[in-house]
Chains A and B, each alone.
Chain A
Amino acid sequence: MDAVYILWLRQMKRYVRSRSRVLGAIGQPILFLLALGYGLGSVYKRAGEGNYLQFLVPGIIVQTILFSGVFWGIQILFDKRFGFLKEMLVAPVSRLIVLLGNALGGATISFLQGIFVLVISVALGFRPYNWFYLPVSLLVIMALCLALTSFGAGLASIVEDFQGFQGINNFIIFPLYFLSGALYPLTNVPTFLRIMSEVNPLSYCVDAMRYTMIHQSHFGLLKDLIVIAVTLVLCMAFAVNRFNRIQA
């Protein structure tokens, strides 16, 4: 347990010390929130859908966690490149412990980022319809953080270099994000888009967040939670499986 803690602590120290990374990771979602929230707000209202900022916030929180979670999972790629991974791999602790420490660190960081964005959204005028549901939202956020850091760690174990990282961003992360319904409602979208969204686990995260924050749902909370749980398990299994195979 000490080993998990010290590896977690290492991630936290890295995070707290790199102010530019903190600001960068929060800056992007805030930009989305301001540009889209205010930019498209009037169009959205005219379409009779109500307040776009309210609608957008859950999606933007998921976005924050998506980018930050995968990024901190992929930290393992940096460790591979800059050598520290070897130090961890030859230590007399199991790979599972190494993975767990790193993933929990990444998940904690993503969680904090998500909370920052939520707080800023509230400052910008976002109001959850019922504060009592907030703990459920937080649970969903936690599950999502852990799933995505694990996913990132698994990817990092496969990919050899930073070019691969770019590919992951362009071909996995962005499609997941844009097809998750984070930016638009899934009712009345073309069939193709609807199918893509239905097979995208991230859609269910966005939906669960929306259910618990603004009481609006496409799939229903139960279905959301089941998909999230299954996704979490699969992502963790993927990470363990891939990470065990790393040969430095």
Chain B
Amino acid sequence: MYTRMSKSVISAHDVVKNFGDVKAVRGISFDVHEGEIFAFLGPNGAGKSTTISMLTTMLRPTSGQLMLNGHDVTKEQDNARKSFGIVFQDPALEEELTAHENMVIHAVLYHIPKHEQARRIEDLLRLVDLWERRDSYVKTYSGGMRRRLEIARGLLHHPKILFLDEPTLGLDTQTRNLLWDYVVKLNKNENVTIFFTTHYLEEAENVAQRIAIIDHGNIVATGSVAQLAKQTDTKNLEGAYLKLTGKAVRDETSLSNDGLNVRMARRNERLR
């Protein structure tokens, strides 16, 4: 069983994010422990992406505190940034360069010592089975290969935490399974903490040790699959999820928002 003694490597304390009048995140708190696989679930526009953006230093929280590996993300940005690797929801690769060149750029941006770069890059590209294709342009890669490359890149600077924002979106079943195999292996062998979001509940059920469910900017439940099912008096994660977040399809133009709405909200705010 899970021990309460382990150190927390991600911690959020009463984090709020407003875009003008729009309250995207309304004071959430949670802890992710070292070496844990943690799933962050919620309907469209619940505040998932906003939370990940804040955790990864791309957005500043309106109030509250976020710590990564003991570093405050707003005050010690560079140290916080060195602590994590990320696979974004949309690919963030330079397509006109080769896989190897993408890795080199990352190595330099993260100040990896020169003499270690070549070995680390080779090791990781072999880990995700892309070493043979290292000199091909990324634009010739399939969706699955890009994901694998992004994972390899995200691990290059030996982060304590790996963020995966809907990493399996648009991938076929084989590639999805393969990807989770890598991630679980990585977590076991290297003790990398995994924080991921997904819309495929069975992925969270199979892989995650603990799950947080966010809705309308609030965390509505946290716990293992068994705990969530018990709390909600349901049989599995899907049952618990639907009971907690309701069956209604989310109206994307409502006050709750996703990236697009947030952007519109900000634009309107500026016009005002």
Interface size for A (C-beta < 8 A) is 25
Q: When the two chains form their complex, are residues B59 and A247 in contact, meaning their CB atoms are under 8 A apart?
A: yes
Partner among A83, A88, A92 whose Cβ is within 8 Å of the Cβ of B111: A92
Segment with Cβ contacts to B, from A10-18, A41-49, A120-128, A209-217: A10-18
Interface residues of A in 16-45 (CB under 8 A from B): 17-18
* Residues of A with C-beta under 8 A to B86: 90
Binary contact readout A66-106 vs B (1 if CB under 8 angstroms, 0 otherwise): 00000000000000001111111111110000000000000
Tell me, in angstroms, the Cα distance from A190 to B111 when the chains sit together.
Answer: 58
Q: Say yes or no for B129: interface residue by CB 8 A criterion.
A: no
Q: When the two chains form their complex, are residues B104 and A6 in contact, meaning their CB atoms are under 8 A apart?
A: yes
* Residues of A with C-beta under 8 A to B90: 83
Total A-B Cβ pairs within 8 A = 73
Tell me, in angstroms, the Cα distance from A84 to B108 when the chains sit together.
Answer: 15
Binary contact readout B55-97 vs A (1 if CB under 8 angstroms, 0 otherwise): 0111110000000000000000111011000101011111111
Query: Separation in Å of the B218 CB from the closest CB of chain A?
Result: 22
Q: When the two chains form their complex, are residues B94 and A10 in contact, meaning their CB atoms are under 8 A apart?
A: yes
Q: When the two chains form their complex, are residues A247 and B109 in contact, meaning their CB atoms are under 8 A apart?
A: no
Q: Say yes or no for B105: interface residue by CB 8 A criterion.
A: yes
The residue in chain B whose Cβ has the minimal distance to the Cβ of A84 is B94
Tell me, in angstroms, the Cα distance from A14 to B102 when the chains sit together.
Answer: 12
Q: Say yes or no for B200: interface residue by CB 8 A criterion.
A: no
* Residues of A with C-beta under 8 A to B238: none
Q: When the two chains form their complex, are residues A92 and B110 in contact, meaning their CB atoms are under 8 A apart?
A: yes
Instruction: Knowing A86-B58, A248-B53, A248-B58 are in contact, say whether A92-B96 is a contact too (CB < 8 A).
Output: no
Q: Say yes or no for A234: interface residue by CB 8 A criterion.
A: no
Sample of 7 A–B contacts (CB below 8 Å): A2-B108, A5-B108, A10-B101, A14-B94, A18-B96, A83-B90, A84-B94
**B residues within 8 Å of A by Cβ?**
53, 56-60, 77-79, 81-82, 86, 88, 90-97, 101, 104-106, 108-111, 153, 263
